[in-house]
Amino acid sequence: MVTAGVVGATGLVGETMIEIIQDRSFPVSSFRAFASERSEGQKVRFLGAEYPVEIITPETLCKGMLLFGATSADVARMWVPACRRSGAIIIDNSSAFRMDPSVPLVVPEVNGHHLDGTEDLIANPNCSTIQLVVTLGPLSEMGRMQWVSVATYQAVSGAGREALDELSMQQRGHVAPEGSVRLHENVVTSIGDPASDGYCEEEVKLMKETCKIMGIEIPIYASTARVPVRTGHTEAVTVRFDEPVDARKAADILRSAPGLTLSEHGAAPLDSEGTDSVIVDRLRVNPADSRALQFWVIADNLRKGAALNAVQIAEVWLAAAEKGGRR
44 binds ligand NAP (CB under 6 A): no
What is the smallest separation between the CB atom of 158 and ligand NAP, expressed in angstroms?
A: 4
Instruction: List binders of ligand NAP among 102-131 (CB under 6 A).
Output: 126-127
Pairing of strands 89-92, 121-123: parallel
Among 64-72, 143-151, 193-201, 207-215, which window interacts with ligand NAP (CB under 6 A)?
Answer: 64-72
Burial 9-48 (b: 16+ CB within 10 A, else e): bbbbbbbbbbbbbbeeebebeebbbbbeeebeeeebebee
Mind giving me the DSSP string for 118-147? --SEEEPPPHHHHHHHHHHHHHGGGS-EEE
Q: How far apart are CA 78 and CA 111, in angstroms?
A: 28
Q: Which residues contact 27 (CB under 8 A, 6 or more apart)?
A: 1, 2, 318
77 binds ligand NAP (CB under 6 A): no
192: phi then psi, degrees, rounded to nearest 5: 85, 175
Choose between 20 and 145: whose C-beta lies nearer to ligand NAP.
20
38 binds ligand NAP (CB under 6 A): yes
CA-based R_g, the chain, Å: 20
- Which of 8, 108, 137, 232 is the binder for ligand NAP (CB under 6 A)? 8
170 binds ligand NAP (CB under 6 A): no
SS3 call for 322: helix
Amino acid identity of 286? N
Q: Does the annotation mark 174 as catalytic?
A: no
- Which of 21, 62, 70, 293 is the binder for ligand NAP (CB under 6 A)? 70
301: phi then psi, degrees, rounded to nearest 5: -65, -25
Angle between the 12-23 and 308-323 helix axes, to the nearest 10 degrees?
50
Amino acid identity of 326? R
Q: How far apart are the first and last CA of the chain?
A: 9
11 binds ligand NAP (CB under 6 A): yes
Q: Does the annotation mark 83 as catalytic?
A: no
Q: Which residue is nearest to ligand NAP (CB)?
A: 11
33 binds ligand NAP (CB under 6 A): no
152 binds ligand NAP (CB under 6 A): no
Q: Name 233's bridge partners.
A: 299
Closest CA to 320 of 174, 65, 111: 111
Q: What is the total count of residues that contact ligand NAP (CB under 6 A)? A: 31
Among 157-165, 192-200, 210-218, 312-320, which window interacts with ligand NAP (CB under 6 A)?
Answer: 157-165
Choose between 1 and 61: whose C-beta lies nearer to ligand NAP.
61
Closest CA to 78 of 99, 65, 54, 94: 94
Given the residues 83, 127, 184, 211, the one annotated as active site: 127
269 binds ligand NAP (CB under 6 A): no
- Which of 5, 108, 269, 305 is the binder for ligand NAP (CB under 6 A)? 305
39 binds ligand NAP (CB under 6 A): yes
Instruction: List binders of ligand NAP among 201-260 (CB under 6 A).
Output: none
Residues binding ligand NAP (CB under 6 A): 8-14, 34-36, 38-39, 56, 70-73, 75, 93-94, 126-127, 157-158, 160-162, 301-302, 305-306
Catalytic residues: 127, 233
